[in-house]
Structure 1
Amino acid sequence: MTIQTGFQSFDDSTRPEQGPPRLDALRAEMRRDGLDAFLVPRADAYQGEYVSERDARLAWLTGFTGSAGHAVVLEDKAGVFVDGRYRVQVRAQIADVFTPVDWPETSLADWIAANAPKGAKIGIDPWLVTIDQARGLSEKLPESELVRTDNLIDRIWDNQPDPPLGPIIAQPVELAGEAAADKITRLAKTLAPARAAILTQPDSIAWLLNIRGSDIPRNPVPHAFAILHDDARVTLFVDPLKLKDLDTKLAADIATPEEFLPALAALDGPVMLDPATCPLAVADALEAAEVAVKENADPCLLPKARKNETEIAGARAAQQRDGLAMCRFLAWLDDTAPGGLTEIDVARKLEGFRRESNALRDISFETISGAGAHGAIVHYRVTETTNAPLKDGELFLVDSGGQYFDGTTDITRTIAIGSPGEEERQNFTRVLKGLIAVSLLRWPSGLAGRDLDPFARHALWQAGLDYGHGTGHGIGAYLSVHEGPQRLAKTGTVPLEPGMMLSNEPGFYREGAYGIRLENLVVVQEADRLPGQSVETMLSFETLTYVPIDRALVVAEMLTHEERAWLDAYHATCRARLAPELDPETAAWLEAATAPI
């Protein structure tokens, strides 16, 4: 049964009590196949962050619904591997037959080596494991054997949903900024010495062909594979039912998914594969056909990340539209809360304000609506079971976004319900100082996200505090809300370039008490040249998101003169951009909410 809340669905088949019998059934299949271990990643064959209901095998088995993780099932143990975003959540969602494992601090290979028998046979579905992942396991477990198998979960999952068949639509060049044929020609020239590149990531295919899909909730991408040839031909392998409403000719030849593996075998090598995202099954097929392989990054990654002027203009327009909805929401919340409101009430209301624009295609991810202690769960998802009231004296964290034809939005605000505590105000101000520090940065061209990430954490570090997630992720142009390869994080190694859009979202979380996060979207731009500047090219961020920051949570004395000036200027821009399009009552609220600090 699916519980429909109006903004998110929750499948009660992932309740913790379902875990033990399902684990027993999986182990029976493992014994039948002579396997000592079986890997259950939260992944599909396309290696996107989000999966369809059919591919939600990790959630079905364990109850854990986060957007990243793995399970490794042995005969006597079953580990569920999650990163810092989900360590509170996983304990609440899984049965005690599963053991939470901190990942990546503990790798899958290290855990298997410590807990599985020597020389273990490890079952994997080669469509759900990338080349890099399989290689890493083999290198770290030289005495074990990776056994390719069909998916054991699919054998035991009664009533498993069908594969999605969401319709594909065209993304007009007026919004894409470049014709698909021109993109294809440009990228084909970069393939040499490869004769072709295998594209397995749906957002890369959607960007290249100027199409959008609907196979994944909240992400306008199609499930498909593609081959880009060095003579500027593209073959798209997709269920033809998805194309029945498409009224524009695609810049690609169409083939069925069943024709994909035979097409691989017929290629002349070398063929380019991205080992970080390409399923092992693809590499196996090429190897079996003796087709030479050249490993390289997906050729769409960097071109897609470098937004053109049309895409950036679309992002500004989407942010303006979204900012108006957020202002109406925050004014309503200020007037209504606590007033008996619950987390679900608030999330529904916020989506309603976005829909009033008549431009919203979908929300860009499930709204994080966290009151009090729920705000400390970084990727909290409210359910009818966990739905909590907004209480006076607590913090409320709302992280949300919209999908519009011209852009994708993502914004987080933390709001005081009633009178906040002094600890909460001080830590909010430290988080705000991090947001401002990133917003004001100028840096020499060539630096990566890991070089900038410490600026967001400095004020927290000075107080002995930190947060367990990255400071920012890339974001698509009416595509995935999380987009690589750029990121602001300790692990961000890709140099930042003009046109790259990212989030700027420092935070702090006191488990069991409250969570704080502030998030604006930014785009990398060339910085104005300064008198006497010796560095050839400096970069900076243009802020795209303009929505008030809760001044009740700001300890003004903790801000430097420069930080106060930034906040006042930011709020002045909020007034100038948003007030003319707001009704008089909301405009009056905005005037008060953005008064100088």
Structure 2
Amino acid sequence: MSQPKSTTALLLSLRAHMQKLKEPLSAYIVPSADAHASEYLAECDKRRAFISGFTGSAGTAIVTQNHACMWTDGRYYLQASEEMDSNWKLMKEGVPSTPSQGTWLSTSLPSGSTVGVDPNLISYNRWLPLREQLESAGHKLIPVETNLIDLVWDNKPSAPLNPVLPLPLMYTGLKIGDKLKAVREKMREKNASIVVLTFLDEIAWFLNLRGSDIEFNPVFFSYVIIKENSFTVFMDPKQYTPTVEEHLKEEVGNEKFVIKNYDTIKEVLKENMEGLAGKVWVSNQANYSIFSVIPKKSIIDENTPVQLFKAIKNPVERQGMRNAHIKDGVALCSYFSWLEKNVSSETITEISGANKLEAFRAEQNDYVGPSFDTISSVGPHGAIIHYKPTSHSDIQIKTNCIYLCDSGGQYKDGTTDVTRTMHFGTPTEYERECFTRVLKGQINLGTSVFPTKIKGNCLDAFARKFLWDVGLDYAHGTGHGIGSYLNVHEGPMEVSWRTTKDDPGLEAGMFISNEPGFYEDGKFGIRIEDIVEIVVATPPHNFNNRGYLTFDTITLAPIQTKMIRVDMLTEKELGHLNRYHKKCRDILGPILEQQGKTDVKEWLWKETEPLVAS
């Protein structure tokens, strides 16, 4: 691993700026997000990574005159401890003894302290409880419009302005005009005069446009205001090309729309508040700066209708997702068969392996690029849940330890995310037992039947049970939504040990991941991840006609059978795994033949030999 970034001089400079303000700050909060609550960020928005050295996608830094603390969850404990220097204290979220940010600030600061944060980077649903908690402790939370990290960041990258392109109807399934009608219907139900879209993926979905302003995420910087008789798009004029204009005009039908500069969103929203008749509907995860111009009595702070429409894929998107996972299955089988054949005779590293997988994906139709940085991890690196190999950490893939590969692709017809854990030599009995417990949990969740609209939180324990039986667990959620040629992590639904207030409940047409795991620090990581489509189930009972659902696995890549302790599987689990492997053969076999990949087909047949109870 490379040396942690030295942050001493940066923290000194930041603290000086905190003191220079008209209202000096005792503490400054540096969230991970950009103005759109994005998980992945453009280089210009990676402020928390710049000030701390910690590059994980989730975390919050708090700097006082004497302390620098970093809150992050279990996916990143190891990574954060390796990337941050001695100036920083790691606060492990999810560990019962770790105080929340509000509690720590309330008890650590001198009486009557002022805490500052950039209002563009903190969500409304986080601002309100934090302000309340600080005020009850005698402190004050204030918006600091000039971002203090920007003042200490020399050579800060400029904001990207990459091309924005229409996504054809053959991939989207619905025109903008149709989406607009559905949104307006929901607006009338809620007496909403205005809907404000702030998340980049919901805007890209709504407008049937895609961009590349954020790596791996086909989005562009923008806002949208939808009203009863028109809508306004806020974007950089350089990105509003004749092609984009023509696309919008063709797709909206008779609807009126206006294009305004990206930077004018707050000003225009404020103008719209004059003489406002109905409510303003905006997600409570939108930034506090947006909310600050809306009268409190006029706010509907819930998931926007667009978030929910996007989560429940239409028939064209559903078929596209299935197609994308078939293509991805061909690429994955090509990679793993090549790796198994060459790992003993060639020097293949975490990075060169990831590059080879990318090359196999690039052979497939409509492939655009990866959906996230490939987690290609050998042995102990697999225990770093969101490990990203670098030139400093890159090591050879060998036959004496576990290899975990978590990767995904962006195709014009869908987004993929899959993890397979393999051993190219002889795994230990303990490794096989751990793998089998993860697999049993994955099958248990993947075959579950549940009432429609149940929240994903209710299903989380299904995947953990067999680990919990022997006192094991994993420090991440079990499932996240996934976009249709959009963000690899898509809300608002999830399957997690955390309760999610905004989870609307699971419905047919949603796609989520099923990804339990187990990680032993310094030794190995195990994760098995598929994408599953939520489909209607037909159980023998249907309580109060509520309707029941189940999962259909659309990821197609064999589970390595040498890692499985067959004696630990029930007859039902064995049957499920054998049927899944037959599905991989039936769907991928003809395509591998068609593409002339007979060696890959032979490997697939070897890997999917039916297992028999021992």
Q: In which range does the TM-score fall when normalised by the shorter chain?
A: over 0.9
Which of 141, 145, 151 in structure 2 is aligned with 1:146? 141
Does the residue aligned with 2:285 lie in a helix, a strand or coil?
Answer: coil
Per the alignment, residue 87 of structure 2 pairs with 97
Which of 358, 365, 368 in structure 2 is aligned with 1:361? 368
Per the alignment, residue 350 of structure 1 pairs with 357
- Supply the AA of the counterpart residue of 1:165: L
1:418 is aligned to 2:411: no
Does the residue aligned with 2:142 lie in a helix, a strand or coil?
Answer: strand
Per the alignment, residue 311 of structure 1 pairs with 317
Q: C-alpha distance in 2, partners of 1:543/1:26?
A: 49
Q: C-alpha distance in 1, partners of 2:43/2:453?
A: 40
How do 1:38-77 and structure 2 match up within 5 A?
38-77=28-67
Per the alignment, residue 498 of structure 1 pairs with 508
- Supply the AA of the counterpart residue of 1:115: S
Pair 1:575–1:294, CA change in 2 (3 A):
closer
Shift of 1:102: 1.3
Q: C-alpha distance in 1, partners of 2:384/2:35?
A: 29
Deviation string, structure 1 residues 37-57 (Cα, Å, up to 9, x no partner): 111111111111111000000
Aligned length: 581
How do 1:423-502 and structure 2 match up within 5 A?
423-490=430-497, 491-492=499-500, 493-502=503-512
Pair 1:450–1:400, CA change in 2 (3 A):
same
Q: C-alpha distance in 2, partners of 1:249/1:429?
A: 50
Per the normalisation by structure 1, the TM-score is 0.94
Structure 1 segments of 4+ aligned residues over 6 angstroms from their partners? none
Does the residue aligned with 1:373 lie in a helix, a strand or coil?
Answer: helix
Q: C-alpha distance in 2, partners of 1:375/1:437?
A: 24
Which of 239, 245, 254 in structure 2 is aligned with 1:242? 239
1:156 is aligned to 2:152: yes
Per the alignment, residue 403 of structure 1 pairs with 410
Which of 14, 19, 23 in structure 2 is aligned with 1:31? 19
Per the alignment, residue 3 of structure 1 pairs with none
Pair 1:271–1:44, CA change in 2 (3 A):
farther
Shift of 1:485: 0.8
Shift of 1:296: 2.6
How do 1:206-225 and structure 2 match up within 5 A?
206-225=204-223
Does the residue aligned with 2:532 lie in a helix, a strand or coil?
Answer: strand
Q: C-alpha distance in 2, partners of 1:516/1:299?
A: 37
- Supply the AA of the counterpart residue of 2:306: C
Q: C-alpha distance in 1, partners of 2:243/2:113?
A: 49
Which deviates more from structure 2 when the two are superposed, residues 357-366 or residues 293-302?
293-302
Q: C-alpha distance in 2, partners of 1:306/1:278?
A: 21
- Supply the AA of the counterpart residue of 2:25: L
Which deviates more from structure 2 when the two are superposed, residues 107-116 or residues 541-550?
107-116
Per the alignment, residue 592 of structure 1 pairs with 606
Residues 431 and 517 of structure 1 are in contact (CA less than 8 Å); yes or no, is this contact kept in structure 2?
yes
- Supply the AA of the counterpart residue of 2:4: P
Does the residue aligned with 1:101 lie in a helix, a strand or coil?
Answer: strand
Per the alignment, residue 6 of structure 1 pairs with none
Q: C-alpha distance in 1, partners of 2:159/2:330?
A: 37
Q: C-alpha distance in 2, partners of 1:42/1:131?
A: 15
Which of 74, 79, 86 in structure 1 is aligned with 2:69? 79
Per the alignment, residue 286 of structure 2 pairs with 278
1:226 is aligned to 2:230: no
Which of 173, 176, 180 in structure 1 is aligned with 2:176? 180
Which of 123, 127, 130 in structure 2 is aligned with 1:130? 123
Q: C-alpha distance in 2, partners of 1:286/1:495?
A: 28
- Supply the AA of the counterpart residue of 2:10: R
Q: C-alpha distance in 2, partners of 1:90/1:195?
A: 44
Residues 192 and 281 of structure 2 are in contact (CA less than 8 Å); yes or no, is this contact kept in structure 1?
no
Does the residue aligned with 2:71 lie in a helix, a strand or coil?
Answer: strand
Shift of 1:547: 0.5
Per the alignment, residue 543 of structure 1 pairs with 553
1:507 is aligned to 2:503: no
What's the RMSD between the two structures over aligned residues? Answer: 1.7
Residues 167 and 245 of structure 1 are in contact (CA less than 8 Å); yes or no, is this contact kept in structure 2?
no
Q: C-alpha distance in 2, partners of 1:133/1:533?
A: 39
Shift of 1:504: 0.3
- Supply the AA of the counterpart residue of 2:258: D
Which deviates more from structure 2 when the two are superposed, residues 240-249 or residues 581-590?
240-249
Which deviates more from structure 2 when the two are superposed, residues 17-26 or residues 468-477?
17-26
Q: C-alpha distance in 2, partners of 1:35/1:366?
A: 37
Per the alignment, residue 161 of structure 2 pairs with 165
Does the residue aligned with 1:71 lie in a helix, a strand or coil?
Answer: strand
Does the residue aligned with 1:502 lie in a helix, a strand or coil?
Answer: strand
Q: C-alpha distance in 2, partners of 1:147/1:572?
A: 59
- Supply the AA of the counterpart residue of 1:189: E
How do 1:6-25 and structure 2 match up within 5 A?
16-25=4-13
Q: C-alpha distance in 1, partners of 2:279/2:57?
A: 31
Does the residue aligned with 1:357 lie in a helix, a strand or coil?
Answer: coil
Shift of 1:295: 2.5
Residues 35 and 120 of structure 1 are in contact (CA less than 8 Å); yes or no, is this contact kept in structure 2?
yes
Residues 194 and 281 of structure 2 are in contact (CA less than 8 Å); yes or no, is this contact kept in structure 1?
no
Q: C-alpha distance in 1, partners of 2:591/2:182?
A: 41
Shift of 1:450: 1.2
Does the residue aligned with 2:320 lie in a helix, a strand or coil?
Answer: helix
Does the residue aligned with 1:189 lie in a helix, a strand or coil?
Answer: helix
Shift of 1:533: 5.2
Residues 272 and 296 of structure 1 are in contact (CA less than 8 Å); yes or no, is this contact kept in structure 2?
no
How do 1:363-382 and structure 2 match up within 5 A?
363-382=370-389
1:266 is aligned to 2:280: no
Q: C-alpha distance in 2, partners of 1:574/1:17?
A: 45
Residue identity over aligned pairs, in percent, reads 39
- Supply the AA of the counterpart residue of 1:27: R
Residues 267 and 291 of structure 1 are in contact (CA less than 8 Å); yes or no, is this contact kept in structure 2?
no
Q: C-alpha distance in 2, partners of 1:246/1:322?
A: 30
Pair 1:540–1:358, CA change in 2 (3 A):
closer
Which of 244, 257, 264 in structure 1 is aligned with 2:262? 257
Shift of 1:463: 1.3
Shift of 1:438: 1.3
- Supply the AA of the counterpart residue of 2:272: L
Deviation string, structure 1 residues 45-103 (Cα, Å, up to 9, x no partner): 11111110000001111111111111000000010110111011100000110110012
How do 1:564-583 and structure 2 match up within 5 A?
564-582=574-592, 583=597
- Supply the AA of the counterpart residue of 1:578: L
Which deviates more from structure 2 when the two are superposed, residues 126-135 or residues 97-106?
97-106
Residues 210 and 218 of structure 2 are in contact (CA less than 8 Å); yes or no, is this contact kept in structure 1?
yes
Shift of 1:293: 3.0
Shift of 1:262: 2.2
Deviation string, structure 1 residues 406-428 (Cα, Å, up to 9, x no partner): 00000000010311111000000
Shift of 1:249: 2.8
Does the residue aligned with 1:542 lie in a helix, a strand or coil?
Answer: strand
Q: C-alpha distance in 1, partners of 2:147/2:87?
A: 21
Pair 1:291–1:172, CA change in 2 (3 A):
farther
Deviation string, structure 1 residues 530-587 (Cα, Å, up to 9, x no partner): 4x65562111111111101111100000000010111111111111111112111111
Per the alignment, residue 4 of structure 1 pairs with none
Shift of 1:274: 3.4
1:553 is aligned to 2:563: yes
Residues 579 and 587 of structure 1 are in contact (CA less than 8 Å); yes or no, is this contact kept in structure 2?
yes
Does the residue aligned with 1:141 lie in a helix, a strand or coil?
Answer: helix
Does the residue aligned with 2:272 lie in a helix, a strand or coil?
Answer: coil
Does the residue aligned with 1:139 lie in a helix, a strand or coil?
Answer: helix
- Supply the AA of the counterpart residue of 2:280: M
Pair 1:529–1:17, CA change in 2 (3 A):
closer
Shift of 1:435: 1.1
Deviation string, structure 1 residues 233-269 (Cα, Å, up to 9, x no partner): 2100000111226353314421112332221121143
Q: C-alpha distance in 1, partners of 2:304/2:460?
A: 25
Residues 193 and 228 of structure 2 are in contact (CA less than 8 Å); yes or no, is this contact kept in structure 1?
yes
1:117 is aligned to 2:110: yes
